[in-house]
Amino acid sequence: MRRRTEAQIKSNERDDADNKVCTYDRMGLGFSKQLMLNETTGTEKVWGMSTTGRMVDDLHRLLQAAGIAKPFILVGSELGALNSRFYSHIHDVQVSDLVLIDPIPEDIFEQDQWKEYWYGQLLPSLQARQFSAATGLSRMLIILGVIEPIIKGEYVSEEVIQRQKYLLSNPAHQSSAVEEHYFLNESAAQVRDITKFKPLSSRTSVSVITGDSFDEQMPEHLNQMVAKLQKKFLEESYPSANHIHIKGADWRMIYKKPSAISQHLRRIVNQRQAKQQSE
């Protein structure tokens, strides 16, 4: 599967309902391989490497190979929200419900303060992680307890903690993360264009889940900027979206407040099942 689709997919079947939940690692991240220099999918020539357009083409091929029943519920968080929006606009017949968790508003990169933070602070820190992982320094610092996983807390499982340690010391993963963040402005432009020229189908329902801040580790003025632009893009792009607020959460809510997320997803699943039974 990974060789055919250049991504990893993991499926879990629930015993209490006929639902399949699928998660995957984008190309080059986690346990998914990056393309070799002599390999190509063809789509990177159209969209460019490590952009939303290329990632969405990867996801589309992956879902076709996996035989996922359609229409399905598509859930995306942060950068994944950009990809989910792009996918839903292009392949709207396949998506019954779109769920966006703390989405990045594409207009954010028109703000000088955000670009200064993204390219002046965040990207250099990711490049430093890449260098540290490539030299083996990260593994040593993790063993010594100098570096700790970012995502931790009462509801964060040991599996998630260990996965973060593995990824922090994996140079291939860190390299792909740097590329995705470097090209995020281009990805945002792709999403802006697709929402302008191909509106979302009226058959696709949209839910947006946000917290009190985008990232609690960011300066407050940047969090306020993201919140303001999130509100603007929702009003302009998805005016009928169901907006859900989770108190005390940021983009890490899928790990730190999983029950708050899952209850809303269960409601959407139940609504969809009820609709299917009535038809």
User: What are 4-55's pLDDT values in tens digits?
Assistant: 333 333 444 444 456 788 888 898 898 888 765 555 555 555 566 789 999 9
Which pLDDT score, from 0 to 100, does residue 9 have? 38
Rg of the Cα atoms in the chain: 19
CATH of the domain at 200: 3.40.50.1820
Identify the CA nearest to 237 among candidates 50, 58, 100, 78.
100
112-161 tens-digit pLDDT: 999 999 999 999 999 999 999 999 999 999 999 999 998 888 888 899 99
Nearest to 1, CA basis, from 63, 83, 80, 75: 63
Structural domains in the chain (count) = 1
Q: Which domain holds residue 221?
A: 2-278
Distance CA 10, CA 8 (A): 7
User: In this predicted structure, which of 14-23, 185-194, 206-215 has the lowest mean pLDDT?
Assistant: 14-23
Q: Which residue has the tokens 């490049």?
A: 127
